[in-house]
């Protein structure tokens, strides 16, 4: 086959372009569109029939004059060029430079769509990553190759938390840190600048690749941006043997762009107008993370998902939680109390924690300490609710102990400085200090041997 | 269907839905698409045009490329070599594919499920001799497939007649002839060690029977409170993170089934890897052999093509039926049936079918029921009784159990293990909610428990549930007027319920000792918790204050007991009873003395 050009566009709406009288155009192929003003736009074939194709135009279809639109089918998939030079650079969702420097030249070109990792080729992730943040390391540990999103809300400090993790994340006893692939979809100029400055000031910029689509950039481009970024991450991990941390922010903007296009296509909606395939589509992105047999590098992923109206059952956080290996949930209540990072531990979870912690990885009491803290905190939350109904004075002495514990926990364990990098040892010791506010016989989630070794109470 | 392959031409590509002009092709027929040779299946016909759903991504496919009808429906290969393997949604062997195509699955790759080169030690059935009348399901001989699974080679459905010969004992590959049968029309059938079966068609059996024995899963809240039967159908609904997958994996690990088929349907790749990496190391508590020897995985992860996801459940259940036909008790776990339903929805949406609820097509309920209907205990044609237990995870959007997949499933199944977000958030695992869960099998299970374990099983179970119900009631009162309003007897009820929750219901899958709990240990723990409660209640009646009892060391020990002694150390669990008696008696004596003084 070869490159073909048509001037037979017959319809443009909501980022979609219909071209007729085509022949033999491959599904999924890349398209270049030249508009009346001579500007080039990019697209992808999303339906191909005998004599008509449907194109998704990444820069959108605003302003197109159908008579004067030239459509070139490039006879190749949507792909990007890759070389070690991508580190330290900044691109858009199509992999075109945004930093004013020349495009990356390389023979290595990879389709951004990726393909499914054979589950039989995966290795189970089990290497503990110390982020220096107690609520994560102690209670919801992250491991290398995990996808662990931050569920947040507007105005909450998810970006600061993501940046802190990016800065502090390391394997215990190892200096080797991560290469970061930073993918921003529909973020504000200020947020993008925050990350850029953050990477620059911590001196890691040379280890970072940024893919950026700002709030006023074309929304359709957000659909390819995470795929482009992950293609770069895969290259860094599997060709260059690096451990890569991918930060995707904000997946809610991504999903909204998807909904926009789905609506324009007339796809059957499932919940809240999002198409039924939102789950599969998100999974194509999130599942590109992981560890693979005999590959030295790895991809760890931290997507940021802002929950519309702080609602965790909204389709975007909901479907994300169904795919990712846990979630770190931020709470507006804690934030309003001035606690940073405002991690609400109850709905937070790390599914891959079990194999990354314990005797040989962190400390033998770690899994039980986490379980105990959760049980105490759950009871403390109930007690707080009760106290708000009947008043703290009406509580039994036992119950009041839970209240004291909860306050101390929020303040000292959850709360920490933005540059405070706690070791896992320090985190666990702090947990014991707080648990020791209770008599031994109330700590039944830990072993008696743990109590003998770490309990600091008086009884 | 005819054997002649028909060729046609591609007209339209809309994601996984491809329209081809292919006259004469049948509905359900397998079609090879385009130059890449992607596989697909005809889902509807209109005139010369056939709509095909493809099991692989159609990127790069062009209108005008050829398509070919293969003449048969989606089928699986059934024979020795399945156990211990991992297959994709259309039964391609993923380990072999990894060898051939690397870390990513290359499209259009076609590798048969069963190894053609491998030879198996075939042992003919000595009861058969030439001239014997044989029919479907008759066991021609056996192959030791793994150390635990004796694979019975059976006459396939549809073949009936006079046995001409059975091969002598020896090593054969699966394509070698191991028997010949002449049917009444005089046609001779050459039988090998494997057969093919179309996945959407249930395999036949002689008769359907009621379930009689519980599936023991080693999980207290299941076996003791909401039991499942061998041959039953159940569902585990719950929001994300509540513990559906862990429940399913625990059943895969510890249930007393002969064969486990675990279908990862639209879920995480790493969860299958977890099984793949851990099962070969874990011992089956019943046989002492490695768990992988009786386990088979079907993997269509969330990022794999959605059409193959729809197929994966049928592929899994057909293999389950095949082992059932050998007379085995098979458990099939489907994680998650919601993703399967979503695959239906996605295809139906692309076909422009009218959605009825939340985008799902009108046939959702009937398809779901038809899949679950393939579970059951049956009398097989040639191997006695066999069963397929089907347990599906359900992933309701937003944790809302009123959504279509959960509510339709609830109408179909017999055991419903409803997972609660509140319990999971408090790290009360398994987070099976004792209020909203149910089992329709309690009466049948009780017969087994009473005979095998203890005649008081049902009484204890009822006392425990009654305590939990009281707990809910009293907690409501506390929330209105505070704890001070409760009497000591009521507070002791709360303590009793808490013993049931923490000492019996909670069971960590990650606790090396407690991950599996034998029925004997299950009963012992339940009995102890109830005994403590009853003894304490009697003391409180005598006037002993509840605070005297709350801090007894035995209260903490009851909560820890499950993880202190394993099922093999039942004696030590039972020995705790003497401690309870002693401690309670001391309180009584102490109090009596004290009472006299007053
Ligand atoms: N029985 C259990 N014992 C210990 N941990 C559990 C148990 N059930 C669930 N968990 C914890 O909850 C997490 C989520 O469980 P999972 O089964 O993956 O949830 P789901 O499939 O419902 O999303 C697990 O990773 C594990 O940490
Ligand atoms: Mg799950």
| Whole-number Å distance between alpha carbons of A125 and A144 | 6
Domain boundary among A77, A100, A135: A77
Task: Look at residue A425 and tell me whether its pLDDT is greater than 80.
Answer: yes
Residue nearest (by alpha carbon) to ligand 1 atom 16? B243
CA A63 to chain B, closest CA, distance in angstroms equals 27
Fold of B457-597: 1.10.1140
CA A429 to chain B, closest CA, distance in angstroms equals 21
pLDDT value of residue B52: 94
Fold of B207-441: Rossmann fold (3.40.50)
Kindly report the number of other CB atoms within 10 A of residue B200's CB atom. Answer: 16
| Whole-number Å distance between alpha carbons of A140 and B117 | 47
CA A171 to chain B, closest CA, distance in angstroms equals 21
Q: Would the CB of B128 count as within 6 Å of ligand 1?
A: no
Per-residue pLDDT tens digits for B60-112: 999 999 999 999 999 999 999 999 999 999 999 999 999 999 999 988 888 99
List of chain A residues whose C-beta atoms are within 8 Å of the C-beta of residue B282: none
Q: What is the 3-state secondary structure (H, E, C) of B279-299?
A: HHHCECCCCCCEHHHHEEEEE
CA B276 to chain A, closest CA, distance in angstroms equals 8
CB–CB of A362/A428 below 8 Å? yes
Task: Look at residue A319 and tell me whether its pLDDT is greater than 90.
Answer: yes
**Residue A165 placed within a domain:** yes
- Statement to judge: residues A446 and A340 lie in one domain: no
Q: Which of A18-32, A166-180, B220-234 has the lowest mean pLDDT?
A: A166-180
- Statement to judge: residues A91 and A65 lie in one domain: no
**Residue A312 placed within a domain:** yes
pLDDT value of residue B598: 43
pLDDT value of residue B596: 57
Among candidates A45, A51, A7, which has minimal Cα distance to B64?
Answer: A51
φ, ψ for residue B408 (rounded to 5)? -65, -40
The string over B462-489, giving b where at least 16 C-beta atoms fall within 10 Å of a residue's C-beta and e elsewhere, is: ebbeebbeebeebeeebeeebbeebebe
- Statement to judge: residues A57 and A111 lie in one domain: no
Q: Would the CB of B421 count as within 6 Å of ligand 1?
A: no
Q: Would the CB of B429 count as within 6 Å of ligand 1?
A: yes
**ω into B146 cis (within 30 of 0):** no
A83 exposed, middle or buried (CB, 10 Å; 0-12, 13-18, 19+)?
middle
B98 in A contact zone (CB under 8 Å): yes
The residue segments making up the domain with residue A268 are 81-353
Regions of chain B short of the pLDDT cut 50: 1-3, 598
Kindly report the number of other CB atoms within 10 A of residue B551's CB atom. Answer: 11
| Whole-number Å distance between alpha carbons of B232 and B403 | 23
Q: What mean pLDDT is predicted for residues A88-112? A: 95
CA A84 to chain B, closest CA, distance in angstroms equals 22
Task: Look at residue A123 and tell me whether its pLDDT is greater than 60.
Answer: yes
Report the relative pairing of strands B385-394 and B376-379 from DSSP bridges. antiparallel
Q: For a ligand 1 pocket test, name from B220, B222, B241 the mutation site with the most ligand atoms within 8 angstroms of its C-beta.
A: B241
Interface of B with A in 323-352 (CB under 8 A): 339, 342, 345-346, 348-349
A172 exposed, middle or buried (CB, 10 Å; 0-12, 13-18, 19+)?
middle
- Statement to judge: residues A72 and A168 lie in one domain: no
Look up residue B406 and give its two tokens: 């959960």
pLDDT value of residue A188: 95
- Statement to judge: residues A190 and A288 lie in one domain: yes
B508 in A contact zone (CB under 8 Å): yes
CA dist list (Å): B461 to B436, B458, B494: 16, 5, 17
Q: Would the CB of B339 count as within 6 Å of ligand 1?
A: no
B427 in A contact zone (CB under 8 Å): yes
Report the relative pairing of strands A16-20 and B329-335 from DSSP bridges. unpaired
pLDDT value of residue B2: 46
Give the alpha-carbon dihedral of A358, A359, A363, A365, to 10 degrees: 70
Share of chain A above pLDDT 90, in %: 86
List of chain A residues whose C-beta atoms are within 8 Å of the C-beta of residue B276: 119-120
Q: Which of A20, A21, A25, A27 to mutate to test the interface with B (most CBs of B within 10 A)?
A: A27
pLDDT value of residue B597: 52
CB–CB of A258/A186 below 8 Å? no
**Residue A267 placed within a domain:** yes
Task: Look at residue A268 and tell me whether its pLDDT is greater than 80.
Answer: yes
- Statement to judge: residues A247 and A199 lie in one domain: yes
Q: For a ligand 1 pocket test, name from B252, B429, B511 the mutation site with the most ligand atoms within 8 angstroms of its C-beta.
A: B429
Band (A458; pLDDT cuts 50, 70, 90): confident
Per-residue pLDDT tens digits for B357-370: 999 999 999 999 99
pLDDT value of residue B479: 84
The mean of the pLDDT values for chain A is: 93
Please give the radius of gyration of chain B, using alpha carbons only, rounded to the nearest integer.
Answer: 28
- Altogether, the residues listed in chain B come to a count of 598
Per-residue pLDDT tens digits for A47-66: 999 999 999 999 999 989 99
Q: Which of A118, A356, A396 to mutate to test the interface with B (most CBs of B within 10 A)?
A: A118
List of chain B residues whose C-beta atoms are within 8 Å of the C-beta of residue A111: 59
Q: Which of B93, B269, B472, B498 to mutate to test the interface with A (most CBs of A within 10 A)?
A: B269
B282 in A contact zone (CB under 8 Å): no
Q: How far is residue B63 CA from its own chain's centroid?
A: 42
Q: How far is residue A385 CA from its own chain's centroid?
A: 32
- Statement to judge: residues A201 and A324 lie in one domain: yes
CB–CB of A299/A237 below 8 Å? yes
Kindly report the number of other CB atoms within 10 A of residue A359's CB atom. Answer: 10
Please check if B485 is assigned to a binding site: no
Sheet bearing A142-143, strands edge to edge:
A142-143, A128-130, A170-171
A90 exposed, middle or buried (CB, 10 Å; 0-12, 13-18, 19+)?
buried
| Whole-number Å distance between alpha carbons of B180 and B187 | 10
CA dist list (Å): A339 to A407, A420, A423, A433: 11, 14, 20, 19
Q: Please give the helix or strand (H or E) that residue B333 lies within, else none.
A: strand B329-335
CB–CB of A200/A194 below 8 Å? no
Residue nearest (by alpha carbon) to ligand 1 atom 26? A351
List of chain A residues whose C-beta atoms are within 8 Å of the C-beta of residue B57: 28, 113, 115
**Residue A99 placed within a domain:** yes
Are residues A327 and B241, on separate chains, in Cβ contact within 8 Å?
A: yes
**DSSP, residue by residue, B444-488:** HHHHHHHHHT-TTHHHHHHHHHHHHHHHHHHHHHHHHH-GGGS-H
**In B57-177, alpha helices (H):** 94-101
Report the relative pairing of strands B170-173 and B86-87 from DSSP bridges. unpaired
**Residue A358 placed within a domain:** no
Q: What mean pLDDT is predicted for residues A154-183? A: 87
> Predicted ipTM?
0.93
B281 in A contact zone (CB under 8 Å): no
| Whole-number Å distance between alpha carbons of A278 and A264 | 15
- Statement to judge: residues A293 and A429 lie in one domain: no
For chain B, the straight-line distance linking the first and the last C-alpha, in angstroms and rounded, comes to 94
List of chain A residues whose C-beta atoms are within 8 Å of the C-beta of residue B19: 49
pTM score: 0.95
| Whole-number Å distance between alpha carbons of A348 and A345 | 5
- Statement to judge: residues A239 and A273 lie in one domain: yes
- Statement to judge: residues A242 and A372 lie in one domain: no
**DSSP, residue by residue, A283-296:** HHHHTT-BEETT-S
Class for the domain spanning B6-73: mainly beta
Chain B CA closest to residue A287:
B303
Q: Would the CB of B563 count as within 6 Å of ligand 1?
A: no
Task: Look at residue A1 and tell me whether its pLDDT is greater than 70.
Answer: no
- Statement to judge: residues A92 and A68 lie in one domain: no
- Indicate the number of domains in chain A: 3
Domain ranges of chain B: 6-73, 116-193, 207-441, 457-597
**Residue A393 placed within a domain:** yes
CATH architecture assigned to B116-193: Beta Barrel (2.40)
| Whole-number Å distance between alpha carbons of A340 and A164 | 11
Q: Would the CB of B508 count as within 6 Å of ligand 1?
A: yes
CA B543 to chain A, closest CA, distance in angstroms equals 21
Domain boundary among A306, A325, A353: A353
Per-residue pLDDT tens digits for B438-486: 999 999 999 999 999 999 999 999 999 999 999 999 999 888 887 888 9
pLDDT value of residue B470: 96
Q: How far is the CA of B305 from the centre of ligand 1 (A)?
A: 26
| Whole-number Å distance between alpha carbons of A187 and B156 | 61
Residue nearest (by alpha carbon) to ligand 1 atom 14? B241
Band (A178; pLDDT cuts 50, 70, 90): confident
Question: DSSP class of residue A84?
Answer: G
* Token pair 């049936």: residue: B337
**Residue A361 placed within a domain:** no
Q: Which of A23, A124, A444 sits opposite B502 (nearest CB)?
A: A444
Q: Which numbered ligand comes closest to the C-alpha of B421?
A: 1
Domain boundary among A321, A353, A385: A353
CA count, 13 A, side-chain hemisphere, A42: 21
B371 in A contact zone (CB under 8 Å): no
- Statement to judge: residues A94 and A72 lie in one domain: no
Please check if B7 is assigned to a binding site: no
Per-residue pLDDT tens digits for A355-374: 999 998 999 999 999 999 99
Q: How many CB pairs under 8 A join A and B?
A: 231
């Amino acid at each position: 086959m070869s490159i073909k050009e048509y001037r037979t566009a017959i319809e443009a709406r909501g980022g979609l372009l219909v071209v007729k009288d085509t022949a033999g155009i491959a599904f999924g192929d890349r398209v270049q569109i030249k508009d009346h003003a001579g500007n080039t736009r990019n697209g992808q074939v999303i339906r191909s029939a005998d004599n008509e194709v449907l194109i998704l135009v990444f820069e959108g279809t605003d302003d197109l004059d159908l008579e004067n639109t030239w459509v070139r089918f490039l006879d190749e998939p949507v792909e990007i060029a890759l070389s070690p030079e991508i580190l330290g650079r900044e691109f858009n969702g199509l992999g075109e430079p945004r930093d004013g420097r020349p495009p990356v030249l390389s023979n290595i070109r990879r389709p951004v769509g990726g393909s499914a990792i054979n589950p039989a080729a995966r290795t189970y992730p089990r290497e503990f990553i110390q982020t220096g943040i107690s609520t994560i390391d102690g209670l919801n540990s992250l491991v290398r190759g995990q996808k662990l999103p931050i569920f947040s809300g507007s105005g909450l400090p998810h970006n600061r938390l993501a940046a802190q993790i990016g800065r502090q994340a390391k394997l215990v006893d190892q200096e080797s840190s991560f290469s970061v692939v930073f993918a921003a979809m529909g973020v504000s100029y200020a947020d993008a600048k925050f990350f850029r400055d953050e990477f620059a000031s911590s001196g890691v910029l040379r280890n970072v690749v940024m893919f950026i689509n700002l709030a006023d950039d074309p929304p359709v481009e957000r659909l390819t941006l995470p795929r482009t970024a992950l293609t770069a991450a895969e290259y860094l991990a599997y060709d260059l043997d690096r451990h890569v941390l991918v930060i995707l922010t904000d997946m809610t903007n991504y999903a909204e762009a998807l909904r926009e296009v789905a609506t324009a296509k007339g796809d059957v909606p499932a919940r809240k107008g999002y198409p039924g395939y939102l789950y599969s589509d998100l999974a194509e992105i999130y599942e590109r993370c992981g560890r693979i047999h005999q590959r030295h590098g790895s991809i760890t992923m931290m997507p940021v998902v802002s929950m519309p109206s702080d609602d965790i059952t909204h389709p975007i956080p909901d479907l994300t939680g169904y795919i990712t290996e846990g979630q770190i949930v931020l709470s507006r209540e804690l934030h309003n109390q001035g606690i940073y990072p405002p991690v609400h531990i109850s709905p937070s979870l790390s599914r891959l924690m079990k194999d990354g912690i314990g005797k040989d990885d962190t400390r033998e009491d770690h899994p039980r300490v986490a379980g105990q803290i959760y049980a105490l905190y759950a009871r403390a939350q109930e007690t707080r609710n009760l106290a708000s109904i009947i008043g703290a004075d009406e509580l039994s002495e036992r119950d009041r102990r839970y209240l004291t514990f909860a306050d101390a926990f929020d303040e000292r364990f959850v709360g920490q400085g933005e540059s405070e990098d706690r070791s896992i040892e320090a985190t666990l010791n702090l947990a014991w200090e707080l648990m020791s506010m209770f008599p031994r016989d109330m700590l039944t989630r830990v072993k008696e041997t743990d109590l003998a070794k770490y309990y600091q109470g008086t009884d | 269907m005819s054997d002649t392959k028909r060729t046609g031409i591609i007209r339209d590509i809309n994601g996984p839905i491809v329209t081809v002009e292919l006259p004469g092709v049948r509905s359900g027929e397998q079609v090879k698409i385009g130059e890449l040779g992607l596989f697909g299946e005809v889902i509807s016909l209109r005139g010369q045009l056939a709509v095909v759903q493809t099991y692989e991504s159609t990127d790069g496919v062009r209108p005008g490329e050829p398509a070919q009808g293969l003449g048969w429906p989606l089928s699986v290969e059934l024979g020795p070599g399945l156990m211990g393997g991992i297959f994709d949604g259309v039964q391609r062997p993923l380990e072999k594919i990894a060898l051939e195509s690397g870390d990513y699955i290359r499209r259009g790759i076609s590798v048969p499920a069963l190894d053609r080169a491998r030879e198996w030690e075939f042992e003919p059935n000595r009861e058969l001799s030439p001239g014997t009348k044989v029919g479907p399901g008759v066991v021609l001989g056996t192959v030791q497939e793994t150390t635990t699974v004796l694979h019975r080679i059976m006459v396939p459905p549809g073949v009936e007649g006079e046995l001409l010969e059975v091969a002598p004992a020896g090593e054969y590959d699966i394509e070698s002839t191991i028997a010949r049968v002449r049917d009444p029309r005089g046609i001779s059938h050459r039988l090998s060690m494997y057969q093919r079966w179309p996945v959407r068609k249930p395999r036949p059996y002689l008769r359907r029977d009621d379930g009689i024995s519980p599936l023991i899963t080693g999980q207290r809240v299941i076996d003791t409170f909401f039991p499942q039967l061998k041959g039953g159908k159940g569902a585990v609904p719950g929001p994300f993170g509540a513990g559906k997958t862990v429940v399913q994996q625990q059943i895969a690990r510890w249930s007393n089934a002969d064969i486990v088929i675990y279908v990862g349907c639209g879920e995480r790749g790493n969860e299958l890897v977890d099984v793949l990496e851990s099962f070969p190391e874990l011992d089956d508590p019943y046989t002492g052999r490695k768990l992988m020897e009786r386990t088979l995985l079907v993997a269509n992860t969330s990022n794999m093509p959605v059409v193959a996801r729809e197929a994966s459940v049928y592929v899994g259940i057909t293999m389950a039926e095949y082992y059932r036909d050998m007379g085995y008790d098979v458990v099939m776990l489907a994680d998650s049936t919601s993703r399967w339903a979503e695959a239906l929805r996605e295809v139906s949406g692309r076909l422009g079918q009218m959605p009825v609820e939340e985008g799902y097509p009108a046939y959702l309920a009937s398809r779901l029921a038809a899949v679950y209907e393939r579970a059951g205990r049956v009398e097989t044609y040639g191997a006695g009784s066999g069963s397929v237990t089907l347990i599906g995870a359900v992933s309701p959007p937003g944790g809302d159990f009123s959504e279509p997949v959960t509510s339709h499933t609830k109408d179909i199944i017999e055991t419903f293990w409803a997972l609660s977000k509140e319990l999971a958030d408090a790290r009360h695992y398994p987070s099976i909610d004792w209020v909203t869960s149910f089992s329709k099998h309690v009466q049948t299970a009780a017969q087994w428990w009473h005979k095998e374990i203890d005649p008081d099983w049902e009484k204890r179970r009822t006392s425990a549930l009654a305590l939990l119900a009281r707990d809910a009631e009293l907690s409501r009162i506390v929330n209105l007027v505070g704890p001070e309003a409760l009497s000591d007897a009521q507070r002791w009820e709360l303590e009793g319920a808490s013993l049931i929750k923490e000492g019996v219901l909670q069971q960590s899958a990650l606790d090396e000792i407690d991950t599996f709990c034998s029925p004997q240990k299950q009963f012992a723990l339940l009995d102890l918790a109830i005994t403590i409660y009853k003894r304490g209640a009697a003391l409180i009646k005598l006037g002993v204050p509840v605070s005297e009892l709350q801090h007894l060391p035995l209260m903490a020990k009851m909560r820890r007991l499950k993880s202190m002694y394993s099922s093999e150390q039942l004696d030590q669990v039972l020995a705790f009873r003497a401690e309870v008696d002693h401690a309670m008696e001391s309180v009584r004596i102490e109090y009596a003395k004290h009472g006299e003084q007053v």
